[in-house]
Structure 1
Amino acid sequence: MNVIGTAGMPAAERLAFRREVSAKLWGPCDRRRGSHAEVGFRADSGVSEFGPVQAALVTTAPHAVRCTPDPVRRPEPEVFKLGCVVRGGGLVEQDDRRADLQAGDLILVDTSRPFLGRCAPDAPASLLLLRFPREALPLPARDVRRLNGVRIPGSHGVGALSSQFLLQLAARMDELGPSETARLSALVLDVLTVALAGALDVHGAAPSSTRQGALMAQIRAFMEKNLGDARLTPEAIAVANHISLRYLHKLFQQDGHTVAGWIRERRLEACRRDLTDPRLASRSIGAIAAGWGFSSPAHFSQAFRATYGLSPRQYRTRTPTL
């Protein structure tokens, strides 16, 4: 994760620097300080790439942002931002809609259209911003635009599932290297699809052609979140996502997988990654396997060898920890 911040800069230069960085990341913005202007503007951003999705974890002093697209030069005509409030609150206005936000809530903004964002004035705010081209989503553009400036509650429904994943992502972004972000890219895009398709169902039914894909993304996000739970079974997954066990198996068959096979692959990959992590060098192989839901050490060792051609111990000793 690349960190961009105002720490160490003269107070008088911070706002101008932040405006320049924001223009490069999100487009031209008029960034205005709040009531604490006399102590100097402070802000930090940690930026990571998840395939077509750019994630920025922004921590900032109270301020307002008014963005107006350049009518002459617009190289990315349909770039959206989905924000997840990590800490604090605020409001967003776009297309004559106003959303008052609190921690956990989600908000969609179309950067090709004017919008106003304002942090709560009483405390610093932290926001995870996911920037992505509209074409990356399997949702019709006309439907996505209906969500501009609409609050997606993070307290219940599909919004809560998406919010929980994004809050976890915000908490662990600084731990992720290039290989982890590459592996998570599809999942991040799936979560975006789930959040927006779920909101479309609330504010106007999502097209039927997108519902199955959104449901599959929702199921994968649930499975990733609970991958370390040994009780993660097809039956538990079906119940948690309010579908029949038969339909769950059908969805995975259409995708060329089995439910149990998908869980096993993801767990083995997580164990393989942990076995080469120098921070976990003192942790036993059995503890790593149990932490990712393998209740039988013998079964784990057999499955690992079948997948990677080496036993877990051989893999750990022969692979350099960088």
Structure 2
Amino acid sequence: MLSETLFRSEDLPQAERFGAWQDLLSRTHAPMRLTSTHQADFRAQMRLISLGEVTLWPAVFPQLVFLRTPKMIRQSDPEHGHLSLVLNGNAVATWGRTQAHYSDYDFHTNDTSRPYEIVTAEGPISMIGIEVPRAQLSLPWRKVQQAVGQCMSGREGVGALLAQFVTRVTADGSPYGPADAARLGGVLSDLVSTLFASVTDADSALPPETRTRTLVLHVKAFIRRNLHDPELTPASVAAAHYISSSHLHRLFRTEGTTVASYIRDHRLQGARRDLADPALAATPVHVIAFRWGFKDHATFTRAFRAAYGSTPTDCRHGADVSTGGAG
């Protein structure tokens, strides 16, 4: 399980809630001044998830104004690149004469080295904050600062990859152990760097290893989106990403697996979940197999037995099925 700390303002006396929230945000991001129409009875929640040097902080809060002044920057500047994925709500951020508007599945970007004001609409606001120290980013700091205020969507391209990553990790940290934290932080830093590079025309400034790791994430996300397609093959995956099949196979060898194994294992995982779902009890096994891209029932049954040591029918009837090779 990842290291996680939960803050709930309602666990504190009413008079202490807003001050505690301001102190928490100032420690998590950088010193700032907050105001709210709900200061008298402030109800907010935040989870702090440590991924090595990188921090994720999903939060829900009512209307807020965030203010970071030049004096605060002179007093303390941790030099962090920051993103917030807005899950629900609206906000306006201002840096001098520059202004940006945000709504659902937009990324708000910031850095701790410049003054700003952020005003959110009436809440509740739901978001996932990302704090990445300057040293963890694969871009020159001036390029990071050029990304601030740029339009970045969590619905397409690298933004979608980043949104999927942070929502998956914050939704359920149980598959990960403490030893995974630094690795996940490295992946997150690569994605943030690549997103910043994409909006500042700085792709060439990214180290080759960052571009490679991001390409692998793109490919894996593409595979997971298309598992239902029986024509999904290593060749079709390579063609979709304009790379050779040999290049694709090399990428997956560095991951300790093969493209075909990755496709098969994730199809099996999906089928196993459906077989165990009471709501799908009336759906024939062969239909579930077809939904997950298996071309025939016999091939599905052999692969399922090899991975889990049990037949799909046994799994449906409640047999103890290990995670086997599809974990």
Preserved contact between residue 56 and residue 130 of structure 1 (Cα < 8 Å) = yes
Q: CA deviation at 1:233?
A: 3.4
Residue equivalent to 1:124 = 124
Going from structure 1 to structure 2, the CA distance change for 1:37 and 1:281 (only over 3 Å counts) comes to closer
Q: CA deviation at 1:217?
A: 2.7
Residue equivalent to 1:158 = 157
Residue equivalent to 1:179 = 175
**Structure 2 residue runs without a partner (length 5+):** none
Going from structure 1 to structure 2, the CA distance change for 1:88 and 1:163 (only over 3 Å counts) comes to farther
Matched, 1:18 2:21: yes
Q: CA deviation at 1:128?
A: 0.9
Q: CA deviation at 1:154?
A: 0.9
Amino acid in the other structure paired with 1:103: D
Matched, 1:197 2:200: no
Root-mean-square deviation (CA), in Å?
4.4
Q: Give TM-score scaled by structure 2 length.
A: 0.69
Measured in 1, the distance between the counterparts of 2:102 and 2:290 equals 35
Classify the secondary structure of the residue corresponding to 1:146: helix
Going from structure 1 to structure 2, the CA distance change for 1:18 and 1:198 (only over 3 Å counts) comes to closer
Residue equivalent to 2:222 = 222
Preserved contact between residue 107 and residue 154 of structure 2 (Cα < 8 Å) = no
Q: CA deviation at 1:265?
A: 4.1
Residue equivalent to 2:263 = 263
Instruction: Write out aligned runs for 1:267-286 (5 A).
Output: 267=267
Preserved contact between residue 6 and residue 43 of structure 1 (Cα < 8 Å) = yes
Going from structure 1 to structure 2, the CA distance change for 1:177 and 1:194 (only over 3 Å counts) comes to closer
Preserved contact between residue 227 and residue 267 of structure 1 (Cα < 8 Å) = yes
**Structure 1 residue runs without a partner (length 5+):** none
Going from structure 1 to structure 2, the CA distance change for 1:140 and 1:291 (only over 3 Å counts) comes to farther
Preserved contact between residue 57 and residue 129 of structure 1 (Cα < 8 Å) = yes
How big is each residue's C-alpha offset from its partner over 1:174-227, in whole Å with a ceiling of 9 and x where there is no partner? 4x1432477798567546534532442442332263433332332233334555
Measured in 1, the distance between the counterparts of 2:5 and 2:225 equals 25
Instruction: Write out aligned runs for 1:1-322 (5 A).
Output: 2-7=5-10, 9-33=12-36, 36-37=37-38, 40-50=41-51, 53-67=54-68, 68=72, 71=75, 77-93=78-94, 98-111=99-112, 113-137=113-137, 139-142=138-141, 144-154=143-153, 157-162=156-161, 164-165=163-164, 168-169=167-168, 173-174=170-171, 176-180=172-176, 189-190=186-187, 193-206=190-203, 207=205, 209=208, 210-227=210-227, 232-238=232-238, 240-243=240-243, 245=245, 247-253=247-253, 257-267=257-267, 290=289, 293=292, 295=294, 298-300=298-300, 302-303=302-303, 306=306, 310-311=309-310, 317=320
Preserved contact between residue 92 and residue 149 of structure 1 (Cα < 8 Å) = no
Measured in 2, the distance between the counterparts of 1:168 and 1:286 equals 31
Preserved contact between residue 84 and residue 127 of structure 2 (Cα < 8 Å) = yes
Amino acid in the other structure paired with 1:261: S
Q: CA deviation at 1:256?
A: 5.3
Measured in 2, the distance between the counterparts of 1:193 and 1:241 equals 19
Q: How many residues align?
A: 306
Q: CA deviation at 1:31?
A: 1.6
Q: CA deviation at 1:16?
A: 0.8
Amino acid in the other structure paired with 2:35: R
How big is each residue's C-alpha offset from its partner over 1:34-86, in whole Å with a ceiling of 9 and x where there is no partner? xx2476333222344456543222111111123435747x7xx4443321111
Preserved contact between residue 252 and residue 259 of structure 2 (Cα < 8 Å) = yes
Measured in 2, the distance between the counterparts of 1:132 and 1:148 equals 14
Amino acid in the other structure paired with 1:63: L
Q: Looking at CA atoms only, which structure, 1 or 2, has the larger radius of gyration?
A: 2
Classify the secondary structure of the residue corresponding to 1:204: coil
Classify the secondary structure of the residue corresponding to 1:178: coil
How high is the sequence identity, in percent, across the aligned residues?
21
Going from structure 1 to structure 2, the CA distance change for 1:99 and 1:244 (only over 3 Å counts) comes to farther
